[in-house]
Amino acid sequence: MLSFPQQKWQVVRTNILKNVPRSEVDLITDRLYLGSWVAAGNKELLAELGITHVVSMLEIEPRIPDIIDKTNKLHIQINDTPDSNILRHLEETTNFIKSAMEVDENNKVLVSPRFTVDEERFV
């Protein structure tokens, strides 16, 4: 299981996400973000944040810009509804995120459901 040191969220968010609308991306840690499907397809935003990996959880695979290498994308095909069991994908998503962060300390991961359902915050 991933564990992260406690951060001063307001300071971290202000410094890293100063030009990003609150509705587009939420900072989980300094290298892990939760963002909308729109954010996952926004080449300029991904570049500005330094995103290197994307986990998407949608019915269809999103159009993630080519600045994200194909091997750095994980797509989980799942209905984005409150009754969908996303927890069955927890091990796969955790391993992907953990691996991305261990390979290079500069890697950053965006987790992108279509809508922000509370359970995604645990993936």
CATH number where 53 lies: 3.90.190.10
- Is 90 among the domain residues? yes
Residues 6+ apart with CB under 8 A from 57: 75, 76, 78, 80, 86, 89, 111, 112, 113, 114, 120, 123
Find out whether 5 and 84 touch, Cβ atoms under 8 Å. Answer: no
Number of domains in the chain: 1
Q: Which has the closest alpha carbon to 96: 52, 55, 68?
A: 55
pLDDT tens digits, the chain, 123 residues: what are they?
Answer: 565 555 544 444 445 555 555 557 899 988 999 998 889 999 999 999 999 999 998 888 889 999 999 999 999 998 867 788 888 999 999 999 999 999 999 999 999 975 544 444 445
- Is 18 among the domain residues? no
- Is 104 among the domain residues? yes
- Is 56 among the domain residues? yes
- Is 92 among the domain residues? yes
pTM of the model: 0.75
Q: Residue with structure tokens 């840690």? A: 29
Residue 56's domain comprises 24-122
Upper half-sphere CA count for residue 13 (Cβ side, 13 Å): 13
Residue 10's φ and ψ, nearest 5 degrees, are -65, -40
